[in-house]
Each structure stands twice: as C-alpha cells, then as structure tokens.
A and B are shown apart, each in its own frame.
Chain A
Amino acid sequence: MRFVDEYRDREKAQALAARIARHCEPGRRRGLMEICGGHTHTIYKHGIEGYLPPEVELVHGPGCPVCVIPMGRVDDAVWMAQQEGVILTSFGDLLRVPGGRGSFLDAKARGCDIRMVYSPLDALRVARENPHRRVVFMAIGFETTAPSTAMTVLRAAAEGIPNFSVFCNHVLVIPAMRAILAAPDLRIDGFIGPGHVSTVIGCEPYRFIAEEHRKPLVVSGFEPLDVLQSIEMLLAQLSEGRAAVENQYTRVVPWEGNPRALRAIDRVMEPRATFEWRGLGWIPDSALRLREEYAHLDAERLFELPQTRVPDPQACQCGEVLRGAIKPWECRVFGTACTPERPIGTCMVSSEGACAAYYNFGRFQRRRLREAAPA
C-alpha cells in the first residue's frame, strides 16, 4: 500500500539499526522519551525495540490524551450525562477510562445516553438531529485535536445551535514537557517530539529544551522507519555533543506549524490558570478553556458541575510512569491488580498508554530480547 509500505521497509530498518549501534558507546545508557502515545503505539506494534542496542532505553511520555485525564473530569462528565435530556458525546478511546465511579461504558449500562463520535462535527450533528436534547461534547486531546473543537465551536456559534456545548479538556504539550523536565528523577537524554501536535504548533516552541536544558529533540513521524530514523538523529546529536531541535517529519510538519489552526484555537480558547493532569498533578497554564465570548457553548458554565476531585489511587504509579521515572512493569500494580481488563491507572486504558502498550504488545518481546542478549 503506497505511503505506508515505504515506511516499513526491513532493509532500511537494518541499515538504520547499524547506524544507531555505531552512535552508542557500550555501557553508556541513552534514555530517549517519546512524548506522544502514537509513538508508543508504533514502537510496540511494529516491534521497534528489537532494532535497538541495549544502551538505548525508550521512555514512554505523557502524550496519550486519555491517559492524562484526571478521574474527577470523567466523573463530572458522567454527572452531566445523568442530567435530564443530556446526550454526552466523546471519542471512542474515552469510553473505558475509569472515573472515581466507573467509566462511560458503566454509565451507559446504567442508562446514560453516551455516544461515541469520530469528530466534534459529528457531535454537532447529533445536536441538530436532537433539538429537544442537550448535547455535550467532551473534548480532549492536545493541540492536535483542539483546532477541530475550535472550528466546531465557531460553526455552532455561527449556526446558533442552542442545544450544543463543549466540555473542554484540551491540554498543551509544552507545559507538560516543562513539568517533566523539572522532575528531580529525570533520566532522559533526548526527546522524540510529537508529530501530530507539531503539525499545529510547529517546531519553534521546543527550542527551550535544546537551549535551556541542553537536550536534543527530533519531531518524528509515526511509521516505524520514522521513529527509527528519529532515534538515529537523536543519537547522532548526542554523540556529537549537540542539542538542537530537528524535524524528521518534514513531509507533514512545517517548521512554523499551522498558523490558521493556531488562530482558530486562539479565537475560541484561552489558557486556564492551572489544570490537573492524571499522575502529574496540577500544572499551571497547561490546558485550554472556552473564551467568555463562547460561554453559551461552554458546558462548564452551562452546568453547575460538581467539580469532582478524585485523588489518584494510592497504589497507582501512573505519574512515575508518565515521567519516565519507572518502567511500566516496575509499577506496584502492573499486570496484577491493574490490567487492560480492569485498569486502575489510565496508562493501562488506551492502546497508546505506556502500560497497555507494554502489556498488550511488548511483554513477551522484552523477555525474548533479554534472553537473546549476551549475559
């Protein structure tokens, strides 16, 4: 299949693997964090770790949109779904995310009208088709999905749809990276930068990572060769003692990002003073809310939300996993109390979550690699 198979070529992968090995000094660990859950998924789905020498350790970052949703926000959404005449809409990934009192799937089983949509525009269509119901779209995601939420709000405002609102949970990648970089237990030498987010924000916002923290970042595509090449570019920088922002994903990501999408976000949304991230806690300026001008489309203003606060379960070490401080399997409850079937932490829910990816795809491969490696 064109535009896919070219990026999954085995011979090219072997050539890259050889170059990667040449960049590594025996025994010198290189911790590379992929920010984005899409990369985590690619790494495990295609078995990329099999091409890496033992010195290279991939650390799975916080860029999985559903993984960072705090339980209280899920509970608030379920509370709205329980109100008379409400239809709650959201992306499929969210359906299984556990709140303090169960997931959307559980709420659906208790009679709530919760519908999966593929785009916020689908949610707007549900509102048009159900004029006597109140339709709430639970918007989540990084800068990747924020523009489509913004455009939907603009359209709802232009059409004057009275029964539609957005429960805005959009988060921003840069403040999350700042929080990770500030952690005392950081063991990361370089970053595989998010591809889709960067199509919107461009490469410039990452400059502080190279300049202030002296760590390289390479914006990467999502096919396995993209990721492998980005790892090669990072290791080349490290071995040459450089720290720069580079763009591997030039076929999709313009250096300056997408100004129109950024304008749409800015027109509709403004930063929140602070926002709670699952596992990472409260991070200032790290999320978006609707501007006052669109208050009539803002579910947080239209509903008197209980503003549920649910502390992360004590046993759950999602935060340490999201910061890369521990590997998924090092979590106290990984694979025992916390499984894809009964997730305690959000990292176990989405197929992009570090724990779910490791559990579902990587478990056995890791064992095989260690058995194959010389003692």
Chain B
Amino acid sequence: MSERSEDDVLERIDRIRRRPARVADERITLAHGSGGRATHSLIDAVFLDAFRNPLLEPLEDQAIFTAGGARLAFTTDTFVVSPLFFPGGDIGDLAVNGTVNDLAVSGARPLYLSAGFVLEEGFPVADLRRVVASMAAAARRAGVQVVTGDTKVVQRGKADSCFINTAGVGLLERPVRLSAAAAQPGDRVIVSGPIGDHGITVMLARGELGISAELSSDTAPLTELVGLLLDAAPATRFIRDATRGGVATICNELALASEVAVVLDEGAIPVRPEVRGASEILGIDPLYVACEGRFVAVVPAEQADAAARALRSHPQGEAAAVIGRVEGDPAAMVLVDTEFGGQRIVDMLVGDQLPRIC
C-alpha cells in the first residue's frame, strides 16, 4: 500500500499533464499523426520550438494578420486519405473543403487556394482527372479559385498513389476575433450537425471490416453556416471544424487554451444510428471520429438558442444542437454526462483509436 492519498495522486497527475510537451520517441510513429496527444507534443516540441512567433503561437487552425489594411486569414492542410474515393466524396473534395473550412471558421471569406500534388509513379491519369474535377467542383461550390499549384512525382512505393496539399487565403470582413482561449464559464457548446459520418464512412470504405451502412462523408464547405452563426450570435467566442480527432479533441484544445472545463451532454450530441452502430461494434467512440463538414462553436449562453435556430435553418445545419456548457472547474478537462446518468472524462487521445479485441 502506498502512503499517498488518492487526491495527492490526482493532483500530481494534473501537474504532470501541464508540463511542457516533449518528444521522447526516436522515430515518428503513426500516433504522431493521429491529432491526439502525440501530435500536440510533436507540434509543441519540434515545430513551435523552431518557428516560434506570435502568429503561430496560439496554434489556431489558421493565422490572422493585417496586410495593406486588410485582415487576412492564411492556412494550409495536407490530405493523405485511403481510399481516395469514398461514398460522398474523394480526396479532391477534402483538399478544397478542408482548407476552405480552416479559413471559414475564423470568420473569414475564403478567396484563393493553392494545390500541391505528390503523385506515385503508376497512378492512373483517369483517377487524377477525377480528383481534380472534384476539386474544381468543390472550389466552385465554396466560391474560391485554385490560383497556383505544384506537381511532384515519386517512385512507385514512395507515396500512396496521391497526396494533396492545399493552402488558402481568406479575407476577414467582420470584426470578429475568435479564439480557443476565449471561452468563459457559462458559455454553451454547439455542434453544427451529426458527428463522425466522414470517419466511419472512410473506415467502412476500406472494406476491411465487412460492415456496410448507408452512410456518406459529410465533406462540405462551412462558409455559409459560419456566416449564419455569426449573424445570429455576434459574440461567438470560438469556432473550429471537427476534423482529425473529432469533437472530443477540439473540446480538449478549447479546455486547455481557455483554462476551463467543457461538460458535454451525451444525450444531446447528434450521432446518426449508422455511426453509432458501427462505433458500438468496433468499440470506438464517435466523439473522436473525424468529420469534414461540421464545426464546434462556443457562444455566450444568451445567444445559444438563436445560434442553434439559425444553423437549423440551413440544410447543412438541420441537426445542429447545443451539446454542452463551459464551466470554471475542473480547468483544462472535458467531461461528459453520460446518458446512463454517470460522468466520465473525455481525454485527448494518445494515438489513434484502436478497435478492441473482444
């Protein structure tokens, strides 16, 4: 038996969790790409350490700066999905919508994109045409233009068919300053639609699970929805699109940056039955599953109903819901009140969610 009390142990854990990140691994593992704790450590200890500057430091999904009198948003994202084509979209849609959304959630109007391609020797040109056609269609839908680009081809086996990088610039016409550090106790947490569709769709499309479901990716531009939200709730604190790591990861980033607790209401979180079913079978939690056309927003309590109503008026936001609240304590933690009547921690994942054995 140890001499320590349970409280001492819990306090020590909290202290250790707040220590600056370090990367002790000798090599990159897949966990570093999962969007969870390992990714954050890598960003903090390697990238931020080297590039440190005031625009990068907040680690938002885009940098906001003023140039020539205009407030601009700038971002980049790289896409490596497998399979390239899946129900509801393909890597081309993702590459445009992903960057458009990283701009849109800052309140900016996305304007121009770049596109960089890494192609594997042997990749069918017909597939490339299909991907590029999707990109063109997605760009038209989002009201942006792809204005510059680059192509590299690598030897067979040095890449998986097609990787795409996009960067984008947007213009901030509203006086908003959204930030993960802006949440305050009492605020409400809103999600713009059912969660996990994209991640589960891609998992099933890999065909390894022998499960099929009528499900398609939610990939879509969020510009219009963000506009509706900011019109209805001008004091919105924060918006972020729930991609890699899902809603749970965003809530953790928010709780850390704002030094608040985020308390989610499990019963209020919109999850399609197909997503819930597949998650139950696989033993994974939809809260961590990626979306490509959903955002999490934090709004003051008094604007929450108006915000949810405004989102529901748009076809993409029909299932928008208030899913939780911000509290002062315990700081830097995400909790969920379970439907069963209990409560649990929703922590940042260490690596990818792995299906359970039995």
Q: Which residues of A contact B (CB under 8 A)?
A: 1, 4, 8, 10, 13-14, 38, 41, 44-51, 65-66, 91-93, 95-96, 105-106, 108-110, 116-118, 122, 140-142, 144-145, 196, 224, 326-327, 329-332, 334-336, 339-342, 350-352, 359-368, 370
Contacts and interface: CB of A to CB of B under 8 A. Distances in A.
B338 interface: yes
B1 A330 contact: yes
Nearest to A4: B280
A13 B13 contact: no
Interface stretch (B83-91, B159-167, B345-353): B345-353
Q: Does more than half of chain A's interface fall in helix, strand or loop, or is it mixed?
A: helix
Nearest to A197: B358
Contacts, number: 148
A329 B10 contact: yes
B351 A145 contact: no
A196 B283 CA distance: 14
A359 B7 CA distance: 13
Contacts of A66: 357
Contacts of B333: 364
Contacts of B345: 360-365
B181 to A, nearest CB: 22
B38 interface: yes
B66 interface: no
Contacts of B1: 326, 330
A66 B210 CA distance: 24
22 contacts: A10-B340, A10-B341, A13-B340, A13-B341, A47-B340, A47-B342, A47-B344, A48-B340, A49-B342, A91-B355, A93-B356, A96-B31, A96-B354, A106-B27, A109-B27, A118-B210, A224-B340, A330-B2, A339-B16, A351-B283, A366-B10, A370-B6
Contacts of A362: 344-345
Interface in B209-251: 209-210
B341 A116 contact: no
B335 A364 contact: yes
B70 interface: no
Contacts of A46: 338, 340, 342, 344
Interface residues on B, range: 35 or more
Contacts of B350: 96, 340-341
A231 to B, nearest CB: 14
Given A45-B338, A45-B344, A326-B2, 9 more contacts: A4-B280, A13-B341, A47-B338, A47-B343, A48-B342, A106-B29, A327-B6, A362-B344, A363-B345
B28 interface: yes
B342 A363 contact: no
A342 B2 contact: no
Interface string B1-30: 110101101101100100000001101111
A334 B12 CA distance: 10
Contact of A92 (B9, B339, B354): B354
Contacts of A117: 208
A351 B24 CA distance: 22
B342 A50 contact: yes
Contact of B9 (A45, A47, A329, A368): A329
B330 A364 contact: yes
A142 B41 CA distance: 35
B252 to A, nearest CB: 12
Nearest to A367: B10
B122 interface: no
B354 A363 contact: no
B208 A118 contact: yes
A252 B339 CA distance: 24
Nearest to A38: B358
A340 to B, nearest CB: 5
Given A50-B341, A106-B29, A341 B38 contact: yes
Nearest to A327: B6
A96 B78 CA distance: 26
A367 B7 contact: yes
Given A65-B358, A66-B357, A10 B339 contact: yes
Contacts of A140: 357
Contacts of A336: 12-13, 16
B58 interface: no
Max chain A CB contacts within 10 Å: which of B29, B333, B340, B356? B340
A361 B248 CA distance: 13
Contact of B358 (A8, A141, A365): A141
Given A8-B340, A364-B335, A105 B357 contact: no
Q: What 10 pairs between A and B have smallest CB-CB spacing?
A: A47-B342, A92-B354, A335-B13, A109-B27, A361-B344, A46-B340, A144-B358, A50-B342, A329-B9, A105-B29
A363 B10 CA distance: 7
Contacts of B341: 10, 13-14, 47, 50-51
B143 interface: no
B325 interface: no
Contact of A366 (B6, B283, B338): B6
B273 interface: yes
Contacts of A144: 358
A21 to B, nearest CB: 15
Contacts of A331: 2
Nearest to A223: B340
Nearest to B28: A109
